[in-house]
Amino acid sequence: MILGGGFGGIGAAKKLSKSDVDVVLVDGHDYHTFQPLLYQVATGLLDQPAVGHPIRDLFHKQDNVRVHQDRVTGIDLEAREVRFAELEPERYDYLVLALGAEVNYFGVEGAAEHAFPLYTLADAVRLKDHVLERWEAADRKPELADDGALNMVVVGGGPTGVETAGAMAELYRGVFRSDYPDVPPEQARILLVEASPEIFAMFKPEIRLYTEHALAERGVEVLTGEVVESVSPQRVTLKSGTVLSAHTLVWGAGLQGNELVRSLGLELERGNRLAVDEELRLAQHPEVYAVGDIAAITDAKTDQVLPQLGSVALQSGEHAGETIAHRVAGKETKPFKYHDKGTMATIGRGAAVVQMLGGKTMKGKAAQAAWGTVHLALLPTNQDRAKAVVDWAGAGLTHQRSGRIRVET
Ligand SMILES: Cc1cc2nc3c(=O)[nH]c(=O)nc-3n(C[C@H](O)[C@H](O)[C@H](O)COP(=O)(O)OP(=O)(O)OC[C@H]3O[C@@H](n4cnc5c(N)ncnc54)[C@H](O)[C@@H]3O)c2cc1C
C-alpha cells in the first residue's frame, strides 16, 4: 500500500511495475501536484493542469496498481491496517508512507486563519483569486489601496518565499501596470520578511548578494531580522513593533511532517518528520517505508538530514519501491544513496541560482537552464515534459499571464 501520490509515492509505485505485487495507491486528490511551480499558478503564469496531473493517468500501463481518491484518517502499525474517510479499512504487507508535509505556522497568532500558504494547488488558486480580487476592489475604490489592499507581505527568505516574492513582483510591475494604469506603483509594495539576518541562508554569500540585487531590481523590499508576531486580515505586526498595512500575507516560512505522523506514537525528528534507517524503513516496523517530505532521511555522504525537495522525494520513493521489489523476489537490498543535483531557485525571468554539492555556483540564465533540466526530470510523463517546455517557453517569450482570471464556483 502506498499512501500519497506526490513525487515519493509515484516514484515508489513506478518501481514496482515488474514486481509480483498488488499495489494500492491512495491520495486525497485525484491529481499529482508539481509543487515547484505552484507560485506560477498563483501569479497567473500557468494554468492548473500544468501543475496537476491525473494520478490514474500515470498507471494506465501498469496493471498491478489500483488508484483510489480518499483521505487517510488513521494508520494502525501493529495491526498493519490503514483507515480511510470512505474506503473500508485495508491491511498491507508493505506500506510506503509518502504523505508529504504540511504548513507550520509556529503558533503565530492569526496566521492559520488569515495567511495564504502555498503548498497545494488549491492554495495557489486561492492566493491568485485573492490578489485579483484585491486589485479589482482597489480599482473600484482607490481608498482601499491607501489601506494596503495591494501590499503583500511574504514570510520566509527560503526558496518558497523568494520565488513567490520575485514572481509576484513581476506580476505587479509587469502586466498589472498595464491592467491597472491608475494605481500608483508605490501603493503596491511587496515585502519579504525573514527572521534570520539574511535570506537564502543555505546558499553561499555570492548567491545571497545576487538574489538580494535581483529582488531589489524587481521592487521587492527585503526585511531581515524581523519576526512576524501576529496577522490580521489587513495588518501584519512584527515583533519589533512595526505594523505593516497589507491585505495579503503569503506564508513560506516552514513545514512540518503530515499530521498523521503525530498519531503514530513514534518518536519524531525535528519538524515532526519520521526517523528512517538507511533503507528508509521505520526502526520498529521494517515493513513500513517513509519517503519524501514526511521522512528525515540522512544523507550517507554528508551525514546531514536531506532537505524537503522534489528530487529527494522522487529518489527516496524510487528506492523504497525498488527495495520492496527486491525483498519480494528474495534479492539483496541496498542502502539509500542520494544523488545531489544541486540546490536551486528561480527569482524571476532570467534570474536563477544554483549551488552544487561541491560548492560550485551558477547564476542568471545558465542557472535557469539548469533549473529547467532538473525540474523537467521530475515531471511524471514525457507528455508533461513536452507541455512544460511549450508553457515555459511561451510564458518567457510573451510575458503573458493568461491565467489571471477568477472563475466563480
Ligand atoms: C511552493 C513550493 C515550491 C517548491 N519548489 C521546489 C523546487 O523548486 N525544487 C524542488 O526540488 N522541490 C521544491 N519543493 C519541494 C517539493 O515539491 C517537495 O519536497 C515534494 O513535493 C515532496 O514530495 P512528497 O511525495 O514527499 O510529498 P507531496 O508532493 O506533498 O505529496 C504528498 C501527497 O500526499 C497526499 N496526502 C497528504 N495527506 C493525505 C491524507 N491524509 N490522505 C490522503 N492523501 C494525503 C497529498 O494530497 C499529496 O498528493 C517545493 C515545495 C513547495 C511547497
Query: What does the mean pLDDT of the chain come to?
Result: 95
pLDDT of residue 60: 96
pLDDT at 119 over 80: yes
Q: What is the mean pLDDT of residues 58-69?
A: 97
Residue 377 and residue 199 in contact, taking contact as beta carbons nearer than 8 Å? no
Question: 140: CA distance to ligand 1 center in Å?
Answer: 38
Q: Tell me the pLDDT tens digit for each residue of 176-233.
A: 999 999 999 899 999 999 999 999 998 999 999 999 999 999 999 999 999 999 999 9
Evaluate: CB of 173 within 6 angstroms of ligand 1. no
C-alpha distances out from residue 364 to 48, 152, 351, 356, 368, Å: 27, 25, 4, 15, 6
Q: Which residue has the higher pLDDT, 231 or 357?
A: 231
Residue 148 and residue 190 in contact, taking contact as beta carbons nearer than 8 Å? no
In this structure, are strands 152-155 and 190-194 parallel, antiparallel, or unpaired?
A: parallel
Evaluate: CB of 40 within 6 angstroms of ligand 1. no
Evaluate: CB of 4 within 6 angstroms of ligand 1. yes
Pocket test for ligand 1, best of 1, 25, 30, 35 (most atoms within 8 A of CB): 35
Smallest CA separation from ligand 1 atom 6, residue: 36
- Chain-centroid distance, C-alpha 103: 10
pLDDT of residue 222: 98
pLDDT at 396 over 80: no
Evaluate: CB of 346 within 6 angstroms of ligand 1. no
- Domain 2-28+70-103+255-339 and domain 111-253+344-398, same fold? Reply is yes
pLDDT of residue 104: 95
Write the class of the CATH domain 111-253+344-398: alpha beta
How far is it, in rounded angstroms, from Cα 283 to Cα 71?
A: 26
Q: Which residues contact 65 (CB under 8 A, 6 or more apart)?
A: 13, 16, 23, 24, 25, 59
Q: What is the mean pLDDT of residues 254-267?
A: 91
Residue 37 and residue 51 in contact, taking contact as beta carbons nearer than 8 Å? yes
Q: What is the mean pLDDT of residues 358-384?
A: 90
Q: Tell me the pLDDT tens digit for each residue of 313-336.
A: 999 999 999 999 999 999 999 999
Taking CB atoms within 8 Å and a gap of at least 24, the contacts of 364-369 are none
pLDDT of residue 145: 97
pLDDT of residue 389: 82
C-alpha distances out from residue 122 to 71, 126, 194, Å: 16, 6, 25
pLDDT at 354 over 90: yes
pTM for this prediction: 0.95
Cell numbers at 367, concatenated: 542557472
Q: Which CATH architecture has domain 2-28+70-103+255-339?
A: 3-Layer(bba) Sandwich (3.50)
Question: 393: CA distance to ligand 1 center in Å?
Answer: 25
Question: 93: CA distance to ligand 1 center in Å?
Answer: 25
Q: pLDDT band for position 146 (50/70/90)?
A: very high
pLDDT at 393 over 90: no
The number of the ligand 1 atom at minimal distance from the alpha carbon of 72 is: 42
pLDDT at 400 over 80: no
Q: Where are the domains positioned within the chain? A: 2-28+70-103+255-339, 111-253+344-398
Q: Name the amino acid, one letter, at 47.
A: D
How far is it, in rounded angstroms, from Cα 291 to Cα 96?
A: 7
Q: Tell me the pLDDT tens digit for each residue of 22-58.
A: 999 999 999 999 999 999 999 998 888 889 999 999 9
Q: Which residues contact 266 (CB under 8 A, 6 or more apart)?
A: 274, 275, 282, 284
Q: Tell me the pLDDT tens digit for each residue of 166-188.
A: 999 999 999 999 999 999 989 99
Q: How many CB atoms lie within 10 A of CB 179?
A: 15
Question: Angle, nearest 10°, between helix axes 7-14 and 310-328?
Answer: 30
Q: Give the three-class secondary structure for 35.
A: helix
pLDDT of residue 220: 98
pLDDT at 402 over 90: no
